Structure 1
């Protein structure tokens, strides 16, 4: 990759030609001059535009700007932060920044929605309660139905989607699928038979096995002593306390694990559209939404290995997937110790619906920068423990059966000490991973400053060269599966994606915040153009997310409450989207902050609001009025500002 291409990407992945055509005839004229020589006035104009972009300003067309005189004196623009990222330094006066609320709202509470009268589940499902009069729940269906609030308008979205409603009489749209004559819920058998369903469900019996530490791990029990012996041999060798003869005898005594899979399912990441694992917002409904927009590979939220082994209900909810994700769904785990990662991988391979396509890969997170994860020795802490990471991956590969193992890295833990090149070389040589994803930032950077795609490109080339060298040396051995290399960081437009794939040596690009802000980015990648979604189309997208959420969390009061909470989390990112139709310059950049703007209509202005109370108002447009117990606090204090 030449330095010119990388220099252009550092500024913008957009070609000058497309920028010119997007901006109009005058820009097109400037494009012609750029191909030859610009005069001084043109250079000054280009410098001013580039200077504004470098200062992080997204220029909005004059008719959509809000004059400073109209800004509320008490209103503070919301900060643009991710779940993990450090707060980006603004360009306001220092004294103003100090007055702004900072950090996260820890120990957030969302309130629980509860029925006035709690119905017994067995009676609700038409069965006879075995506890009889001793049961503490209500058995009188008529009494329970009378205590419920009035049904929400319209038909039950879950019943319309899958032909039945699991919530039954607890559904807030009960009468749309309830027969008064028979006193039972209705079923649309053809629709039910054709509907998709969720995979990787762990039942109560399986949870109890894990919780009681009775889950058998024969493969892990065999590979762990072998890996430990390798570790001990390396320690003795490095200390120099073993003679060459003793070392030779010791190595000869080791037996390669007989359970290492000789064949794994082949992955194909050549130019596929990948949604990154996302904390909180990367839930199943959001992933399904991205799938509908064209994402081909999706990942679970990061699951911690130890809670998985302990049978945690909340942790086992993370690997759950939907039939729409079959063939391209990976579960990401994090662990500080090899035995945790290896045994959790064996549990996933056993309990997930591998044969039905519910698990395409297990991904080891070696890049999470969160302090809590890092200090435990997991996530990006493994970047400083190469030997431990390699033993983890070797063990995971041995126990996962036909499921491939992949890994996600950062450049290193410190800015001035990137180690990914050296580490990637070892990973490819060991042959235990099917794909490597590199985020172009260090752990110290978190999400500040632009991702280093120069370094990603160089590391991808190291991976390719290493693999080719091994293939040349081992021509007589069976062909190895290719090691795919995926880049990650600052992919916010279709131009970013295509520029990386075509110029940065990567097989594909993993998209994170770009998809959170506009999930239709995958459509833009396919069409190779910006899509100016109208406010109505975006509201329909929000409604679709809500319906997918009800299908996942339930259409009763509790499920609606849960769905509303995650919808507000989603809106905390989507509100950052500035419609391309009101921007002066394209492409939009992730780090650019727009001037105060108003939309082309009231709905567009509302969808761009950073006030969390407006997010709740939007949720009421698709989920009905909020429950009296519902509460929502933004993840970051800076989003919880008050308006006059």
Structure 2
């Protein structure tokens, strides 16, 4: 065999005695994928295994950093700032125009202006065309683009296709003015604060801030602020005035100032209106990271207590005014941490997904204006039914985050994660921890559903502790609290991803749910057979959410819609990876930094796709998600390479799409499913 022109030494060794003796049924009982014997790869010799383990240990120890060498955040920030001034990071203005005098910041610019030095160290162009080729106007990365050779006179070749540019548009970017308000903790949340105040759920920090705002307002009309007359009244411009008149005037001035600073009220935008590039002065916008805005603000932000109390009555949305979403029979791609990014969702949309949801975003980070967290809310124009998922521990935090998203983003629904099993989330009282606090769940769901007109959905697990399921006792309340749909992952928090999902319990919960609450199941859906069985076994289920199954084979949506087992070829799978890379370069950028970011997330995804076993190699169809694939040969070299669980082979695949990796490049997957390691799996 050969791969990329390099011969691969292949030794024909028959399967082991154990592999010969076990029947497919016995292998399935052991959660081992039953492959046809002619494709099985013999296990490596003991000497080879020991050598590999030793080399892995050496490489791991060489990559580890001593604890004493750990750098502070300030030092890392200083190093990043200095790195931007190096010749690797050319000024975006100069990169676009090719003129060293085009930057308006001149010597104050944070980036390098040495164009010749940048050209001398820039890596060679990659094969293929610029991902912005079909866009209208020049490539936003100019000379920094790794496909600059395909540009024509500074403009991407074949430019002028405006429709193609619209298809590449993204919305829900964080506006700089809003980010500054969040940084300074000056963003107002009138609806959330009014509702929280009426329920007595305002946190101590919010109460303190309201008192400070009230004190500031009292100072405006205090006797110390203006001179007094002989009778103790206030004198303004030499005339005696009444305090109430002055207070009224100050309220008018404050309202006018607020109106001047407030963005225009939200109007349902078309795709054309949603997509507009930021000013070139914003470096992130020039780099394409915040190229699209979707801005809208709330109705009123007066701090007067009377106005807040009046808004409490009007902030609650009547149930009949809620915009409902029918999830019945829709193919729902679950929010997936790290790998469920916007390019991956675009791939799944092409392959048949109906509903998409952004990665889980922490409410505290959103309220702090963290750009990296807001990036999780980005939406592509092709996502016609899109929601965002948030996670928080307390009603005040979640309510303000929901109001902020409602103001600044265009989404169809907001999902609250109450099932995340990650320790760092649970230890803060969020995620699965809320399953042990039903009254806090009630406060969070009830508060958020009352202040926005978008549907509030919830994602939960069956319970916190193993053997102590509790959602069946809460399912009737979730609808009355304000949730329009609930997704039940058929495992407890303690299980994580070990053992099979408990679908019998999901059915039990779905049958107990009120008619107004849609119930979706989640767990181990890996074929159209699984999909059909769950919906036929329990007609009360609205739909199923597909999570890890989509990571391993995103064409599962096509299989369900076409009701077939797709024996997809390695070339077709490689074409899907090509699409992902193209979408990734459009999202993260076509310069060197964007290429390496795309590579990183591609490798994270390949750490899942290697678990797929082609249909033509199996003795039993369909493959189950908990099956551990043995080492095997594919039907061709590319299929064999894609089946490898070695990070070195994943890097080889990335090099076939994105060129050679930089010197000293290493990769270790962020996530590793316990379902392949736990003995009790299955």
TM-score bracket relative to the smaller structure: 0.7 to 0.9
Offset at 1:124?
Answer: 3.0
The answer to whether residue 178 in structure 2 is matched with residue 206 in structure 1 is yes
Matched residues in 2 for 1:295 and 1:184: separation? 34
* Correspondence list, 1:190-205, <5 A: 190-191=161-162, 192-205=164-177
Match of 2:39 in 1: 64
Offset at 1:349?
Answer: 0.5
* Correspondence list, 1:495-506, <5 A: 495-504=529-538, 505-506=540-541
Instruction: Deviation per CA, 1:442-478: give whole Å up to 9, x if none.
Output: 1111111111111000100000xx33xxxxxxxxxxx
Aligned in 2, Cα 1:77/1:224: closer, same or farther, shift over 3 Å?
Answer: farther
* Correspondence list, 1:550-589, <5 A: 550-589=585-624
Of the structure 1 ranges 154-163 and 414-423, higher mean CA displacement relative to structure 2 is found in 154-163
Aligned in 2, Cα 1:176/1:72: closer, same or farther, shift over 3 Å?
Answer: farther
Aligned in 2, Cα 1:64/1:281: closer, same or farther, shift over 3 Å?
Answer: same
Match of 1:406 among 439, 457, 464: 457
Instruction: Deviation per CA, 1:84-109: give whole Å up to 9, x if none.
Output: xxxxxxxxxxxxxxxxx9xxx99999
Match of 2:567 in 1: 532
* Correspondence list, 1:444-455, <5 A: 444-455=494-505
The answer to whether residue 511 in structure 2 is matched with residue 461 in structure 1 is yes
Query: What SS class does the counterpart of residue 157 from structure 1 fall into?
Result: coil
8 Å contact kept, 1:283–1:318? yes
8 Å contact kept, 1:260–1:398? yes
Query: What SS class does the counterpart of residue 202 from structure 1 fall into?
Result: coil
Instruction: Deviation per CA, 1:285-321: give whole Å up to 9, x if none.
Output: 0011011100011111100000000000110000001
Matched residues in 2 for 1:622 and 1:292: separation? 20
Aligned in 2, Cα 1:428/1:72: closer, same or farther, shift over 3 Å?
Answer: farther
Match of 2:200 in 1: 228
Instruction: Deviation per CA, 1:265-297: give whole Å up to 9, x if none.
Output: 120101000111111100000011011100011
Match of 1:153 in 2: 127
Match of 2:280 in 1: none
Query: What SS class does the counterpart of residue 514 from structure 1 fall into?
Result: helix
Instruction: Provide structure 1 residue ranges, at least 5 long, that are not aligned to the other structure.
Output: 1-46, 79-100, 232-252, 468-481, 640-644
Match of 1:491 among 525, 542, 547: 525
The answer to whether residue 341 in structure 2 is matched with residue 366 in structure 1 is no
The answer to whether residue 409 in structure 2 is matched with residue 341 in structure 1 is no
Aligned in 2, Cα 1:276/1:71: closer, same or farther, shift over 3 Å?
Answer: farther
Instruction: Deviation per CA, 1:554-609: give whole Å up to 9, x if none.
Output: 00000000000000000000000011110001121111112321100111000000
* Correspondence list, 1:244-393, <5 A: 257-262=313-318, 263-326=321-384, 328-352=385-409, 354=410, 359-393=411-445
8 Å contact kept, 1:219–1:398? no
Match of 1:613 in 2: 648
Aligned in 2, Cα 1:637/1:367: closer, same or farther, shift over 3 Å?
Answer: closer
Of the structure 1 ranges 132-141 and 149-158, higher mean CA displacement relative to structure 2 is found in 132-141
Matched residues in 1 for 2:51 and 2:497: separation? 22
8 Å contact kept, 2:490–2:501? yes
- The alignment of Structure 1 onto Structure 2 pairs a total of residues equal to 519
Aligned in 2, Cα 1:624/1:422: closer, same or farther, shift over 3 Å?
Answer: same
Aligned in 2, Cα 1:335/1:148: closer, same or farther, shift over 3 Å?
Answer: same
TM-score, structure 2 length as denominator? 0.71
Match of 1:474 in 2: none
RMSD: 3.1
Offset at 1:630?
Answer: 3.5
Offset at 1:399?
Answer: 2.2
The answer to whether residue 25 in structure 2 is matched with residue 53 in structure 1 is no
8 Å contact kept, 2:134–2:160? no
Aligned in 2, Cα 1:68/1:615: closer, same or farther, shift over 3 Å?
Answer: closer
8 Å contact kept, 2:458–2:487? yes
Matched residues in 2 for 1:136 and 1:390: separation? 48
Offset at 1:69?
Answer: 6.4
Aligned in 2, Cα 1:142/1:419: closer, same or farther, shift over 3 Å?
Answer: same
Instruction: Provide structure 2 residue ranges, at least 5 long, that are not aligned to the other structure.
Output: 1-21, 54-59, 72-78, 204-308, 675-682
TM-score, structure 1 length as denominator? 0.75
Identify the structure with bigger relative contact order (alpha carbons < 8 Å, sequence gap 6+).
Answer: 1
Query: What SS class does the counterpart of residue 577 from structure 2 fall into?
Result: helix
Match of 1:475 in 2: none
Matched residues in 2 for 1:536 and 1:138: separation? 42
8 Å contact kept, 1:308–1:315? yes
Match of 2:148 in 1: 174
Matched residues in 1 for 2:41 and 2:178: separation? 57
Matched residues in 2 for 1:292 and 1:163: separation? 25
Match of 1:189 in 2: 160
